A and B are shown apart, each in its own frame.
Chain A
């Protein structure tokens, strides 16, 4: 029985053994952070163009991984200059007081081959909430890409106050999709 358990454990670890590298450096121009929401029933999307990450992720040893992502909220691109200006303002992100949003992972659990469940703290506009994001890993040469998504409620972070606090024009649910390309480092 003990042998079987050992074999099973080994079998689980084997697929990851080829990727025993620690990914530390974000390749910003190959990475993206997109978001989606509904406006008057219409699916809309946008992205952030400036973000940084402090990483130390070895896909073979997720328990030891560390990840902290910071987004420069003023870099939002909603596809409309008028909207970009609006959401930087006090009622939305209030970027003058809260220029950055952050996500700090505190647990990365493997849930399958190259698939993980990343739990962490999302902080926006001085408010924090715990989120869980499913993510997958794929490697290509020295580069490793982490892909995942999660959703949150904008009301939990007071994103859209005053006349925007109702969800009749802009829905409460926000979807975030990230594609973080990283480089293995020593």
Chain B
């Protein structure tokens, strides 16, 4: 019998999966565009989506701390269990750090973040081109790390499903009708 994540945890997981992949693709695409109204719009949308992802991550952490996720399979090697926990911790850290670095970078570049064009976030930093460049490198580097960790996360899920043949992947998927409720 598969021990499933809660519906809320699944919903947050897949919503964020879609959002993060979209944000990554948009971020890599818009960066090299020549200045145009479209570029300004894409940057604004990227920021709004980034703020949304950050808030969803906070919500998700709150849910995670109050709802114990199903335990890893008992047969899993201790080192691999530790690696899985470390990987998840790193994903959460990046999901918080990346939008924060983007927000600070925006302020340092002199572009305030106004969520959905109506809710202005305070600028913690004043305009500072040198600091903006550093923060841009940080934002970029953290995202490269995120891509690497997502690839590892995906690889691990597929390995569990197809090689170890355990229920790790299935418990994050929608419940199949035939399965009894746990």
Contacts and interface: CB of A to CB of B under 8 A. Distances in A.
B111 A42 contact: yes
A49 to B, nearest CB: 15
Contact of B40 (A39, A43, A79): A39
Most buried by B among A41, A44, A83, A163: A41
A168 interface: yes
Interface of A is mostly: mixed
A41 B35 contact: no
B118 interface: yes
A79 B127 contact: yes
Interface string B37-67: 1101101100000000000000000000000
B35 A170 contact: no
B112 interface: yes
A146 interface: no
Contacts, number: 43
Interface residues of B, number: 18
B4 interface: no
Interface in A31-75: 39-44
Contacts of B114: 40-42
13 contacts: A40-B41, A40-B44, A42-B114, A43-B112, A44-B110, A79-B109, A79-B127, A80-B109, A164-B37, A168-B37, A169-B41, A170-B37, A170-B40
Interface of A: 39-44, 79-80, 82-83, 86, 163-164, 166, 168-170
